[in-house]
A and B are shown apart, each in its own frame.
Chain A
């Protein structure tokens, strides 16, 4: 017990970095998801090819490899060294953004054809159609997978410890070395990751509930899960 009381401030400091990188990575991933996802639904073939290429490339490289490339290889190309935190946010955002783009594309394509046609019949311009009709409906469908991706990104952020950012994982490694309490050192970090993940999942369920209500659907999932009825939030983001 003493171990946790004494080292709590250090862990909290590590959790702060983990959160910072998670939120930054999510913001970048979200923007990429939306832009690349929408571009992937356009009729223009060139636009679709560009979106597909983005998805294939950045889904293909693991965030860790991408981060190493940005951190170690890119400076040799540009002569400019990225901050480790920035390299981590970029790598995670670019990687998870590729999965998110597939999610957005799939959700847009899942909006019933009749909704597009009603949009044409009311003479909306394509941008208005997307903004006013299609995206608000696709949103509810995107959210569960976005929730999974947030958790994936949060977990993925542990790789920043390998370029010496003092996140939760880095703190755990340090505690292992200094205190010799191997089990406790890692358990502390794991529990904090777990708590952060549960908070994110709760928030995402709130958002899903709101989105479904806006579409006049009441098929709400319970906000608090019990083992017996657990559904959702269980697939690795982006992997169907």
Chain B
């Protein structure tokens, strides 16, 4: 182990980390919004729309994120949409995880007891108030820990962006390792960093679970 080299590699690794965090943050926001759209369509739209949406989500959930990344990165440009690697990565992450956040929202809504809907109707609350004041506040509490878990999961999936040349952590580690033949130092450093983030965030999730009910 050449610890001096690890030290020298820190600035490059940090620049990689910036891309990792950026992709996670933007991908996550996209997943949250898209997932909500999906769940609204599946609940509200007629069956001819809702059923295909279900199968598309099922398709996304049962195929590899890596291939989806390639798909967005190579296929969209051939259809005339030109994307930077980072943008393609964010889109793929967001769409992939939307298939999961939609399920979280759904189970959160299903978890609101029917009595609550009935009570809202008994008070003849308008639809908007029923959602805004009764259902959503209860559903949101239930889904927070699960959504937190998907944030961590997405963070752990960002090294895949390496495959479409986004200069994130693993990309930088691999590049530095290759140039200097010091894979051991650089990849170990990335691994340790991921473990550290994972352990800390798992503790954070446990805190969330204690504060909010799990789905």
Contacts and interface: CB of A to CB of B under 8 A. Distances in A.
A and B touch in the complex (CB under 8 A): yes
Interface of A: 56-57, 59-62, 64-66, 68-69, 72-74, 76-77, 151, 155-159, 161-162, 168-169, 172-173, 176, 182-183, 186, 189-190, 193-194, 197-198, 201, 227-228, 230, 234-236, 239-240
- Chain B contact-residue range equals 35 or more
A169 B69 CA distance: 11
A190 B61 CA distance: 11
A66 B184 contact: no
B38 interface: no
B145 interface: yes
B214 interface: yes
A197 B63 contact: yes
A227 B49 CA distance: 11
Given A56-B199, A62-B157, A182-B75, A190 B63 contact: yes
A240 B146 contact: yes
A61 B187 CA distance: 11
B64 interface: yes
B150 A236 contact: yes
A157 B160 CA distance: 12
Contact of B183 (A57, A72, A162, A183): A72
30 contacts: A60-B156, A60-B196, A61-B156, A62-B157, A64-B160, A65-B187, A68-B183, A69-B187, A72-B174, A73-B188, A76-B181, A151-B62, A155-B63, A155-B64, A158-B65, A158-B67, A169-B64, A183-B78, A186-B75, A194-B62, A201-B62, A227-B54, A228-B47, A230-B54, A236-B150, A239-B100, A239-B146, A239-B149, A239-B152, A240-B214
Contacts, number: 138
A234 B191 contact: no
Contacts of A186: 67, 70-71, 74-75
Interface of B: 47, 50-51, 54-55, 58-59, 61-68, 70-71, 74-75, 78-79, 100, 103, 145-146, 149-150, 152-153, 156-157, 159-160, 162-163, 170, 174, 177, 181, 183-184, 187-188, 190-191, 194-199, 202, 214-215
Interface residue SS majority, chain A: helix
B146 A68 contact: no
A60 B177 contact: no
B191 A172 contact: no
A76 B150 CA distance: 34
A186 B74 CA distance: 9
Pick the most buried of A77, A176, A186: most chain B CB atoms within 10 A of its CB: A186
